[in-house]
Structure 1
Amino acid sequence: MKIRDRELSIPIIQGGMGVGISLSGLAGAVAACGGMGVISAAHPGYRDPDFYRDPLNVNRRCLKEEIAKAKEIAKGCGLVGVNVMVAVQHYADYVRAAIEGGADAIISGAGLPTELPQIAGDSKVLLAPIVSSGRAARVICRAWERHGNRLPDFVVVEGSRAGGHLGFSAEELADGSAKPLDEIVSDVVETLRPYEEKCGRKIPVFPAGGVYDGADIARLEKLGAAGAQIATRFIATEECDAAPAYKQAMVDAKEEDVRIIKSPVGMPGRALFSPLIRKVAELGRIAPSRCLQCLRTCNPADTPYCITQALIDAAKGDWENGLFFCGANVGRIDRITTVRELMDELVTEWRNNR
């Protein structure tokens, strides 16, 4: 399938996961299979010796290096994208670094990326917002038309069963009143129709959040989706950039181990009930020992814990101190596989259910 002028032979996007979960190893392997591998721009330089001294410049340099490594692994196949959260400080710097590094696409959520086209300028990079409603898609399309004279190249539609930060209220998640993904996808597809007519091309929609297998992709395709974005299942692969202990935590997890947490980003999030989450619940707050000024919404004086350090600890496999984001279907994962095996499985199931 085509996304604007780019070819994606398999309509599967691997969701961006930070800190350090989806870097060049995972993204490159997914792209090599013909999908879109996505590098997270959330602290890609966390392993660099100078990270704590100069995080912005280290992250910018390492992001470019990770893009180059992923493209080398992909060997001309698929696409390599970068996920940049709107909620981070220096958002524009990371978007520009991704473009300078040669990313094929920038996917942006954790807030509405209304300024993304202006930051991207005349770059040919594909731009995609992450939305959780047709209303959000409309707001973004109007803003991008007005200020950037362009429309999204594709849209990721994230439902309430996703991992990490969620675009729903804590109340919606607690009482089950959040709209099902299928309804949101239909809403967004319908919302985008007039904009597709304006620009004379399709704006592909990729549902995410609770998409587990190829049968899910086929079902969503019948609602107008072009494919799907999947994240948590890719953690349990040999190529994933996380430590083996993180991968094993996904394999060992059961449905009852998953919690909705309050994130310092200001949004609810879905994660495993690790010792860190238990401690925060008991103590109310774990004061950070340093501040990397990573989030616009975070105040070090009252943040419940340092999300950057918690995610770094998780990426290193530290179960006691880490924040282990995961999707709602994590309990269905029963083994560590390879990206190629997972992609083949997903594609076979998708084709058999079309």
Structure 2
Amino acid sequence: MNELKIGNKTANVPIIQGGMGVGVSRSRLAGAVAAAGGIGIISTAQIGYDEAGFCTDPKKANITAIKKHIALAKAQAKGGLVGVNIMVALKDYAEHVKASIEAGADVIISGAGLPVSLPKLTEGTDTKIAPIVSTEKAAHVILKLWDRKFHRTADFIVIEGPKAGGHLGFSQEELADADQMDYDNEIRKIISAVREYEEKYHREIPVIVAGGIYSREDAFHAAELGADGIQAATRFVATEECDADIAYKMAYVKAKKEDVVIIKSPVGMPGRAIRNPFLEEVAQGTCKIERCYGCLAKCDPKEIPYCITDALIRAVKGDVEHGLIFAGENVEKVDKISTVKAVIDDLSAGFYSGEKNTFHILPHVV
């Protein structure tokens, strides 16, 4: 199948594993994906939650963990590509970017806001950068800004659709009508916008489609729309290599369609998660905030309904009754714990090794 070339870096398969915090995608998962030929992504969001001193100095613990987990993943990757997902909304965004570069991250993917300063922060390095966008407007804004202010463009683009898990770049109203949205057309428009900058900079800018990518059929459909690769996250949670506790993974296996809900996150964005007693507590306003970890740039503990750091840490450690479990819309399709290799092999079957953007779907192997 086609390789995914990002500048001078190449992944053997055009598959990126989506970044998932807190602690869901760290070195074990990212390293396994990279070793299997894809691009493994570590989420830096409160990555140091289990480091000594996290409660007293979370910033230091996170920087330590970023460097540690990138090193561990790269050691496991067998020469494959390892990157990070860094939320723009993080209070220590610039410090996370710097630490990731120092540790040798191959790529940085950045969303939950527009990564306006990312080119400046990565200037003079070989780390490739990509914004996450959900609309043609956002793509135009960030690409035009990078072009005008930094005289450069993105190394690749990640388009995240309305069926993704975690924080979403859509309104509550848009998400309520996600099935009625003609998002395929939006993807085509974003790709067209990106091609303008390919022509200006005389280089390829791979476009990666994310959000609801679960099967080889989804991969094939993304390729038909003109994408150069896909990003999947939910499917990689239910793997042996995922860094989350087994109870977290089993929450995915057990989830039904009606269990998936849209919530309001303290980040200020809608999010998709699995319904559980914790979300009922949030709805009743009975959650207590015991401490502030300083994770988000725009967060006032006096105004938010719950601490997202505490909620995500409880979940990743296995307390799935009292934690926040982000998941994509297709989580209902997860029916077992698999392996990274099996997921990569299945998704890869949606592509054909031939001319760029020439694909066919391979039959399922029993």
Mapped partners of 1:221, 1:320: distance in 2: 38
- Residue by residue over 1:43-76, the C-alpha shift from the partner in whole angstroms, topping out at 9 and shown as x without a partner, is 1110112111111111011101100100011111
**Inter-CA distance 213–176: structure 2 relative to 1 (3 Å threshold):** closer
Show the 5 A alignment for 1:63-74. Answer: 63-74=66-77
Give the Å deviation of 1:349: 3.9
**Contact (CA 8 Å) 2:163, 2:178: kept in 1 or not?**
no
Mapped partners of 1:223, 1:176: distance in 2: 18
SS of corresponding position for 1:234: helix
Stretches of structure 1 lacking an aligned partner (at least 5 in a row)? none
**Inter-CA distance 144–248: structure 2 relative to 1 (3 Å threshold):** same
Indicate the residue corresponding to 1:298 in structure 2: 299
Task: Kindly indicate whether residue 271 of structure 2 is the aligned counterpart of residue 269 of structure 1.
Answer: yes
**Contact (CA 8 Å) 1:159, 1:180: kept in 2 or not?**
no
Show the 5 A alignment for 1:129-168. Answer: 129-168=131-170
Mapped partners of 1:74, 1:235: distance in 2: 18
**Contact (CA 8 Å) 1:277, 1:323: kept in 2 or not?**
yes
Mapped partners of 1:44, 1:278: distance in 2: 26
Mapped partners of 1:104, 1:185: distance in 2: 25
SS of corresponding position for 2:283: helix
Mapped partners of 1:309, 1:338: distance in 2: 28
Show the 5 A alignment for 1:33-44. Answer: 33-44=36-47
**Contact (CA 8 Å) 1:181, 1:209: kept in 2 or not?**
no
User: What one-letter code is carried by the residue in structure 1 that aligns with 2:110?
Assistant: S
| Residue 353 of structure 1, aligned match among 337, 340, 361 | 361
- Residue by residue over 1:171-228, the C-alpha shift from the partner in whole angstroms, topping out at 9 and shown as x without a partner, is 1112448744422220111111210001111111111111111121111112110010
Indicate the residue corresponding to 1:197 in structure 2: 199
Mapped partners of 1:180, 1:336: distance in 2: 32
**Inter-CA distance 294–203: structure 2 relative to 1 (3 Å threshold):** same
SS of corresponding position for 2:163: coil
Mapped partners of 1:210, 1:253: distance in 2: 15
Indicate the residue corresponding to 1:238 in structure 2: 240
Once the two structures are overlaid, the 10-residue window that deviates more, 239-248 or 217-226, is: 217-226
| Residue 253 of structure 2, aligned match among 246, 251, 254 | 251
Give the Å deviation of 1:348: 2.2
- Residue by residue over 1:246-303, the C-alpha shift from the partner in whole angstroms, topping out at 9 and shown as x without a partner, is 00000000010010000000000000011111111122x5231000111112110011
Indicate the residue corresponding to 2:33 in structure 1: 30
**Contact (CA 8 Å) 2:52, 2:61: kept in 1 or not?**
no
Using the aligned pairs only, state the percent identity: 53
SS of corresponding position for 2:176: helix
Indicate the residue corresponding to 2:97 in structure 1: 95
Indicate the residue corresponding to 2:218 in structure 1: 216
SS of corresponding position for 1:185: helix
Q: How many residues were matched structurally?
A: 352
Moved over 3 A (4+): 175-181, 349-352
Give the Å deviation of 1:95: 0.6
**Contact (CA 8 Å) 2:88, 2:110: kept in 1 or not?**
yes
Mapped partners of 2:233, 2:340: distance in 1: 12
Mapped partners of 2:41, 2:152: distance in 1: 23
Mapped partners of 1:22, 1:230: distance in 2: 12
**Contact (CA 8 Å) 2:67, 2:103: kept in 1 or not?**
yes
Mapped partners of 1:105, 1:316: distance in 2: 27
TM-score normalized with structure 1 length:
0.97
**Inter-CA distance 267–178: structure 2 relative to 1 (3 Å threshold):** farther
Mapped partners of 1:347, 1:322: distance in 2: 33
TM-score normalized with structure 2 length:
0.94
SS of corresponding position for 2:351: helix
**Inter-CA distance 199–292: structure 2 relative to 1 (3 Å threshold):** same
User: What one-letter code is carried by the residue in structure 1 that aligns with 2:74?
Assistant: K
**Inter-CA distance 179–126: structure 2 relative to 1 (3 Å threshold):** farther
Indicate the residue corresponding to 1:308 in structure 2: 309
Indicate the residue corresponding to 2:19 in structure 1: 16
**Contact (CA 8 Å) 1:181, 1:207: kept in 2 or not?**
no
Indicate the residue corresponding to 1:54 in structure 2: 57
